Structure 1
Amino acid sequence: MNASASEPLKFAYWVPNVSGGLVVSKIEQRTDWGYDYNKRLARLAEDNGFEYALSQVRYIASYGAAYQHESTSFSLALLLATERLKVIAAIHPGLWHPGVLAKWVATADQLSGGRAAVNVVSGWFKDEFTKLGEPWLEHGERYRRSEEFIRYVKEIWTSEHAEFSGDFYRLHDFDLKPKPVAGEGRAHPEVFQGGNSIDARGMAGRVSDWYFANGNSPEGVEAQIRDVREVAQVHGRTVRFGVNGFLIARDTEAEAREVLREIIDKADREAVAGFGAAVKQAGQSTGDKTGMWQDSEFADLVQYNDGFRTGLIGTPEQIAHRIIEYKRRGVNLLLLGFLHYLEDVAYFGEHVLPIVRELEAAEREKVS
């Protein structure tokens, strides 16, 4: 068992800083996108086994998300409202200058005692760029820009005479002060990224600290992990892996399945269709047609990042065993969404997480 496999799984949750919850459905959702609700949720989450939270990034109304709080400012507010939670702010290269973002992260990291992180989103929603008057690059170029963006911020965070020369960004003898908090095993704030394409996997292997996979089967996620690891090995790097999942835990499997059925039956069909058209167009723009959402069906798209496909639906025991199967395939972190956040996060901490930890202990016993 490698070192990362022997470590306890980490858990993150999607911050509901966007209206409409985490499913594109007209089902009742006792989840609120406002700050007071999210502050309460963040404190609850860090007391129920969650180490990370990911603030979403949306700039305009789209596909059931009529209102959106900006991700970096919202992340800082949550950092200051908590004690242990690490908050990942999703950001878009092309809408941020890397030097400005690096400065923001350094300040947020200092204020929070080293708990700030970023998720670099190369972009799938063309309107967010063009309606702001920014150019929309082709798929491969978006990832080339993102890779330069990550190299730039890591350089400026760690060097007293930062230098970078690329096709998109340049940096000349720059000394950022204060720098982010440095500590054991952490030279700089963690950099996450998502994506499914060959471009995304290659970028992760070369420059990112974490690779987020959309919801998928254990076998599907394992294939992505294998590709990223092969690239990382060539570059002498180690990458960690997270997978998205929408978790519906109930006392019986029948109850959980009924919740899923109701979510899909009450889907906002127009919004789901619009979302599906936009993301499939983005995925088709990849040279090998391996972009995200390419094989997603209508029911999958009701949850933005294919979270139903991860199969975290059932009793606490069923879900815990499913989670351990992902860990066996190389997953280090589960990024979770919920229907009714306050109730479901508390249920997870009380009923699901203890079983996960018991199963992890049993796995360690087998190899000791």
Structure 2
Amino acid sequence: MPSAVPAEPLKFAYWVPNVSGGLVTSTIEQRTDWGYDYNRKLAQTAENSGFEYALSQVRYMASYGADHQHESTSFSLALLLATERLKVIAAVHPGLWQPGVLSKWVATADHLSKGRIAVNVVSGWLKAEFTALGEPWLEHDERYRRTEEFIRVLREIWTSDSAEFRGDFYRIHDFDLKPKPLDVPGRAHPEIFQGGNSSAARRNGGRVSDWYFSNGKDYEGFSEQVTEVLGHAADAGRTTPPKFGLNGFMIARDTEKEARETLREIIAKANKPAVEGFRDAVQQAGASTGNKQGMWADSSFEDLVQYNDGFRTQLIGTPEQIADRAIEYKRRGANLLLLGYLHFQEEVEHFGTHVLPIIREKEAELADRTPALVGS
């Protein structure tokens, strides 16, 4: 566990439901919608309810209950233009994007949004999305090597007047991007998020990413990832280590019993063929790593009903109980919680009114008795 906690207030992001089927693969009612009108209102509600970020999902074809999907970058820009403060993170795939082209898109989106765009660089797990488009499917660690180069190219183009890069996957020569992204205090360039669970993902997180996203984890599982990623950052000589985001599915109710009953109903009504198909696909991907530490390698059927292991984080119970868990994750190095819900519009608003104030009270108490983590 880190010897000190992040000094900044805990940040919050939500999963943009730009993909049909909601955030759980279940037939339970989910009062949410993947269309733009719903999402525009949700983004406005979120920025007025204490959320600083939103993450637009990336899917290119139907899979495991997600029959329809809006493209992540265009959807992200639409949400940016519909809001005033919210930062939107667009998920993108190396191999389907060329980093120089993406760098130009991001620079334009940054100017249009006054500095609020970010990217989540996703190495990819769904082989069919690549092969259906005629693109090569690399083995696991090669996908992460490509991701590392992709991130290095983005940073080089955004920060150099005459970008140069020679790697195994990308080569850039004398490329001068104009306009550059905006000069925003506190950042060198638009923020780069990257996630995973494997050793290769953790190395990338430590060496090149601004933020490392973790799938849902219990306390010890999250602490173990933080320790390893920070170790890679130290080995790389980074003076500013990456920050950490943790995925969690939140069920905040008046009583713990009510919240647990909701969880039981979600799992009882799981779309079993979709969950099992997803499990077969992702656990093969997780097991493909040398040490079997890939994403979802040890996820149970129940875990995968929320497809980023969000139940494992256990943000389930009363507002007070959820606040206690959030603070404990902050103690263990979390800078941000990435949240999903059954009923986004209502529950995002409920979070801002009933959960966030308790978290802020407990943060103040924690700050009075704990040293701050340098550089956080």
> Deviation at 1:93?
0.1
* Corresponding position: 1:59 with 2:60: yes
> Deviation at 1:183?
2.0
> Deviation at 1:364?
1.2
> Deviation at 1:275?
0.3
* Corresponding position: 1:253 with 2:253: no
Identity of aligned residues (%): 73
CA distance in 2 between counterparts of 1:4 and 1:265 reads: 38
CA distance in 1 between counterparts of 2:292 and 2:265 reads: 32
> Deviation at 1:236?
2.5
What does residue 344 of structure 1 align with? 347
> Deviation at 1:5?
1.3
> Deviation at 1:235?
1.8
Change in Cα spacing, 1:346 to 1:194, as seen in structure 2 (3 Å) is same
CA distance in 2 between counterparts of 1:366 and 1:326 reads: 16
> Deviation at 1:168?
0.4
What does residue 94 of structure 2 align with? 93
Runs of 4+ deviating beyond 2 Å: 1-4
> Deviation at 1:63?
0.3
* Corresponding position: 1:298 with 2:292: no
CA distance in 2 between counterparts of 1:201 and 1:101 reads: 23
Q: TM-score, normalised by structure 1?
A: 0.99
Question: Where does 1:320-339 land on structure 2 (aligned, <5 Å)?
Answer: 320-339=323-342
Conservation of the 8 A alpha-carbon contact between 2:5 and 2:331: no
1:37 counterpart letter in structure 2 = Y
- Secondary structure in 1 aligned to 2:111? helix
CA distance in 2 between counterparts of 1:4 and 1:246 reads: 23
- Secondary structure in 1 aligned to 2:334? coil
CA distance in 1 between counterparts of 2:211 and 2:157 reads: 19
- RMSD of aligned residue pairs (Cα, Å): 1.1
> Deviation at 1:4?
6.3
Conservation of the 8 A alpha-carbon contact between 2:61 and 2:69: yes
1:63-91 Cα distance to aligned partner (Å, 9 max, x none):
00000000000000000000000000000
> Deviation at 1:234?
1.7
Conservation of the 8 A alpha-carbon contact between 2:4 and 2:331: no
What does residue 103 of structure 2 align with? 102
Change in Cα spacing, 1:147 to 1:296, as seen in structure 2 (3 Å) is same
1:102 counterpart letter in structure 2 = S
Question: Where does 1:158-237 land on structure 2 (aligned, <5 Å)?
Answer: 158-237=159-238
Conservation of the 8 A alpha-carbon contact between 2:111 and 2:181: yes
> Deviation at 1:367?
3.9
1:115 counterpart letter in structure 2 = R
CA distance in 1 between counterparts of 2:256 and 2:250 reads: 12
- Secondary structure in 2 aligned to 1:212? strand
What does residue 121 of structure 1 align with? 122
CA distance in 1 between counterparts of 2:369 and 2:244 reads: 23
Higher relative contact order (CA 8 A, sep 6+): 2
- Secondary structure in 1 aligned to 2:293? coil
1:167-186 Cα distance to aligned partner (Å, 9 max, x none):
00001111100111122221
- Secondary structure in 1 aligned to 2:189? coil
Question: Where does 1:261-280 land on structure 2 (aligned, <5 Å)?
Answer: 261-280=264-283
1:276 counterpart letter in structure 2 = R
What does residue 147 of structure 1 align with? 148
Conservation of the 8 A alpha-carbon contact between 2:106 and 2:117: yes
**Where in structure 2 are there 5+ consecutive unaligned residues?**
372-376
Count of residues paired in the alignment: 368
1:130-168 Cα distance to aligned partner (Å, 9 max, x none):
010000000010000000000001000010011000000
1:188-207 Cα distance to aligned partner (Å, 9 max, x none):
00000110000000011110
> Deviation at 1:3?
8.3
CA distance in 1 between counterparts of 2:188 and 2:368 reads: 32
CA distance in 2 between counterparts of 1:122 and 1:17 reads: 20
Change in Cα spacing, 1:101 to 1:33, as seen in structure 2 (3 Å) is same
**Where in structure 1 are there 5+ consecutive unaligned residues?**
none
